[in-house]
Amino acid sequence: GESVGLHLPTLSVQEGDNSIINCAYSNSASDYFIWYKQESGKGPQFIIDIRSNMDKRQGQRVTVLLNKTVKHLSLQIAATQPGDSAVYFCAVLGGYNKLIFGAGTRLAVHP
Amino acid sequence: DAGITQSPRYKITETGRQVTLMCHQTWSHSYMFWYRQDLGHGLRLIYYSAAADITDKGEVPDGYVVSRSKTENFPLTLESATRSQTSVYFCASRGLSGELFFGEGSRLTVL
C-alpha cells in the first residue's frame, strides 16, 4: 500500500538557525503534497502545499522542495523561532482522494 | 464563527458505552473526514464522506459508525466503546485545492 515516511522523529535546532524536515513517499503517481504543523493540544494546521508540476514553493519563512525522481519532500523553515516548536507532518494525496499522513517529526527550538 | 468545530473536546466513558463525537463545519465543504491520532501511529483515517448521505470506510473503521444527513455535520459514533479506542479524534473538511482543515480534536478516554 501507499506509505509516507519521515527521516527523523525529532529535530533539535537553535533559535535563528534554519530547519529542514524531510519526508519520503512511495507512490510515484502522487501529485499533491501538504505540510502541516501541529502544536500541543491542537489540530494540525495547514502550512504550505505543492503540486507535482512544481519542484519548489515558498511561503513566509517556509519553503517546500519536491524531488519526484527520488520521491522526496522537504520543508525548510528559515530563522527558526520558538513558536515553530511543534510536530510537522507531511501528507500525500493518495487513492480515492484521501490524504495519507506521515508519522510526524517533532521540532524542538532551543534559545 | 466560520470553521470546523468538534464537541465534546474531552470525554471520559466506560467500556461498552455508546459515545458520539460531533463535527460541524460552516464552509459547505463536500468532503469530510474522521481521523484518530495515537502515539506511534500518526493520523489514521477512520471514515470519510464525499457528500451528504455518502460515506465510506477508511483505514481503521472497525467499531465506528458515521452518518451524514446534512452537509455541515459528520458525527462519529462508537457503538460500544473499548479501551483501544482511547485516542484523540480529529474531524476535517477538504478545501477546494485538496488541503484539509482540521478541528481542534476530541480527546476520548475509555476506562
Annotated domain spans of chain B: 4-105
**Percent of chain B whose pLDDT exceeds 90:** 86
A25 touches chain B (CB under 8 A): no
Dist. CA B84–CA B64, nearest whole Å: 12
**Three-class SS of residue B26?**
coil
Q: Which of B93, B76, B66, B77 lies closest to B2 in space, CA to CA?
A: B93
- Expressed in percent and rounded to 5, the helix, strand and coil fractions of chain A are 5, 55, 40
Q: What is the CATH number of domain B4-105?
A: 2.60.40.10
CB atoms inside a 10 Å sphere around CB B102:
21
Q: Which amino acid, A81?
A: Q
A33 to chain B: closest CA residue: B99
Give the residues across from B89 on adjacent strands.
Answer: B36, B106
Tell me: the pLDDT tens digits for A49-71? 999 999 999 999 999 999 999 99
Summary mean pLDDT of chain A: 90
Shortest distance, CA B14 to any CA of chain A (angstroms): 23
Contacts of A46 in chain B (CB under 8 A): 99-101
Burial of B109 (0-12, 13-18, 19+ CB in 10 A): middle
Q: Do A103 and B42 touch (CB under 8 A)?
A: yes
Contacts of A64 in chain B (CB under 8 A): none
pLDDT at position B85 over 70: yes
B84 falls in which pLDDT band (50, 70, 90)? very high
Summary mean pLDDT of chain B: 94
Rg (alpha carbons) of chain A, rounded to whole number: 13
**C-alpha cell of residue A63:** 519553503
- Domain A4-110 CATH superfamily: Immunoglobulins (2.60.40.10)
Tell me: the pLDDT tens digits for A93-108? 876 677 888 888 999 9
φ, ψ for residue A95 (rounded to 5)? -65, 155
Q: Which among A98, A100, A105, A106 is the top mutation candidate for probing chain B, defined by the most B β-carbons within 10 Å of its own β-carbon?
A: A98
Q: Do B99 and A89 touch (CB under 8 A)?
A: no
Q: Which among B99, B106, B107 is the top mutation candidate for probing chain A, defined by the most A β-carbons within 10 Å of its own β-carbon?
A: B99
Shortest distance, CA A64 to any CA of chain B (angstroms): 15
* Better-predicted residue by pLDDT, B108 or B59: B108
Rg (alpha carbons) of chain B, rounded to whole number: 13
